[in-house]
A = this chain, B = another copy of it.
């Protein structure tokens, strides 16, 4: 199950980027499970990784290679079907081994290759299968390889996720294309989520890193399916510089602002696409909190609602159970909360105020508000100017089925 339309938009090539997707036979024979991304020399990279203390081996190695390679990688190698997490020292060696295999063929240093893995935790990475498939991945490299790559990075996802945005500044055309995967173990601090974005705009690395960190904060860090933080998350932004502009170094230019807007659109679309394809999802729910003392307490309330199993099962049932919303708000830890000032809305329908059901509210309004696949839960705290929105899904039978059966 998934929410909303299932249509991957056309993904535009990004000058300086080629992608090759092949089948290494890691999980299911014939399934595309290995993606090689090549970027032009001089590309700068920014990246955000999982904050889970048990981070996977490829995360450790990719971080190292980025740093020692001066944030200018040449290749990214992504496998699905095996997360290479919970694999200890042998896992680190396996991630290095895969990087070396790419480096040998390309004639670059190992540190110019960033490894990524997603899939089952705790199984040894089948390095031999990956090594054997790498030459074919090189052969498959093509500028138009984004759609295939969007397919090739999926695990329990039911559909590929991607977006391209074209924009022009002073008559020059630029492009950004991004793809992402992830459906469960999704929450802020990154998720079982991989996202790769590339633009032809030249950007100096420190600014690129700031920009990515800032935009991840309001997109990928604002979505949650089940509150679990994965061991493998990574979001990488590549700036090839193929457009030939003077590399951006600060925020004071029309090109920077246009680029920022375009990346923001791609990040937000991809982040919301993860939620729409959340495991077992039948609803796409925006939880919008207004009027908190600060943004943090709005986030506290939003995530308490978004993670409440009682709220999520009520959403699955299309049940306007505002009592569970009040209960979730009440346990979010807000200091001196005056419950009589709190207003609760489903879409535009006021359902609770003054600590109880609104007088104007009818059950028919609530049922109508819960009927669509896309729902907004809006809470007005009326105690300040803070604001935050997060996006989440319901909890369905399918969520349990998918996660109970995943390893069997």
B404 close to A88 (CB less than 8 A) = no
The one of B231, B319, B326 that contacts A86, using a Cβ cutoff of 8 Å: B326
What mask results when residues 120 to 132 of chain A are scored 1 for a CB within 8 Å of chain B, else 0? 1110000000000
Rounded to whole angstroms, the CA-CA distance of A406 and B324 in the bound complex is 12
Chain B CB within 8 A of A256 CB: no
Interface residues in A84-134 (C-beta closer than 8 Å to B): 85-91, 120-122
What mask results when residues 209 to 234 of chain A are scored 1 for a CB within 8 Å of chain B, else 0? 00000000000000000111111000
Interface residues in A223-253 (C-beta closer than 8 Å to B): 226-231
A231/B397 contact (C-beta < 8 A), A88-B354, A226-B309 known: no
A227 close to B314 (CB less than 8 A) = no
B404 close to A400 (CB less than 8 A) = no
Q: Determine the residue in chain B with the shortest Cβ distance to A88.
A: B356
A279 to chain B, nearest CB (A): 9
The one of B87, B120, B310, B396 that contacts A184, using a Cβ cutoff of 8 Å: B310
Interface residues in A390-404 (C-beta closer than 8 Å to B): 395-397, 399-401, 403-404
What mask results when residues 331 to 342 of chain A are scored 1 for a CB within 8 Å of chain B, else 0? 100100101100
The one of B83, B189, B313 that contacts A403, using a Cβ cutoff of 8 Å: B313
Of A18-26, A48-56, A266-274, which binds chain B?
Answer: A48-56
Rounded to whole angstroms, the CA-CA distance of A354 and B328 in the bound complex is 38
A404 close to B313 (CB less than 8 A) = yes
A189/B228 contact (C-beta < 8 A), A53-B339, A54-B326 known: no
A207 to chain B, nearest CB (A): 30
Q: Which residues on B sit within 8 Å (CB–CB) of A184?
A: 310
Chain B CB within 8 A of A330 CB: yes
Q: Which residues on B sit within 8 Å (CB–CB) of A399?
A: 309, 313, 400
A226 close to B319 (CB less than 8 A) = no
A317 close to B405 (CB less than 8 A) = yes
Chain B CB within 8 A of A323 CB: yes
**Oligomer copy total:** 2
A52 close to B331 (CB less than 8 A) = yes
Q: Determine the residue in chain B with the shortest Cβ distance to A91.
A: B356
B408 close to A319 (CB less than 8 A) = yes
Chain B CB within 8 A of A357 CB: yes
A216 to chain B, nearest CB (A): 17
Chain B CB within 8 A of A41 CB: no
A214 to chain B, nearest CB (A): 23
* Most chain B beta-carbon neighbours within 10 Å: one of A85, A89, A403: A403
A309/B54 contact (C-beta < 8 A), A317-B408, A326-B121 known: no
B86 close to A54 (CB less than 8 A) = no
**Chain A interface size range:** 35 or more
B401 close to A397 (CB less than 8 A) = yes
Q: Which residues on B sit within 8 Å (CB–CB) of A328?
A: 228
The one of B53, B321, B355, B407 that contacts A330, using a Cβ cutoff of 8 Å: B53
A309 close to B122 (CB less than 8 A) = no
Rounded to whole angstroms, the CA-CA distance of A168 and B149 in the bound complex is 74
A356/B87 contact (C-beta < 8 A), A313-B403, A339-B54, A408-B317 known: yes
A227/B308 contact (C-beta < 8 A), A52-B327, A121-B327, A122-B357 known: yes
Q: Which residues on B sit within 8 Å (CB–CB) of A174?
A: none
Chain B CB within 8 A of A322 CB: yes
Chain B CB within 8 A of A203 CB: no
Q: Determine the residue in chain B with the shortest Cβ distance to A352.
A: B86
Chain B CB within 8 A of A167 CB: no
B53 close to A329 (CB less than 8 A) = yes
> Which 5 A-B pairs have CB atoms at the shortest separation, nearest pair first?
A121-B323, A54-B330, A88-B356, A313-B403, A317-B404
Q: List 29 A-B contacts (CB under 8 A).
A: A51-B331, A52-B327, A53-B329, A53-B330, A53-B331, A53-B339, A54-B339, A55-B330, A85-B326, A86-B323, A86-B357, A88-B340, A88-B354, A91-B356, A121-B321, A121-B326, A122-B322, A122-B323, A122-B326, A185-B310, A227-B309, A230-B327, A309-B395, A313-B403, A314-B403, A316-B400, A319-B406, A321-B406, A397-B401
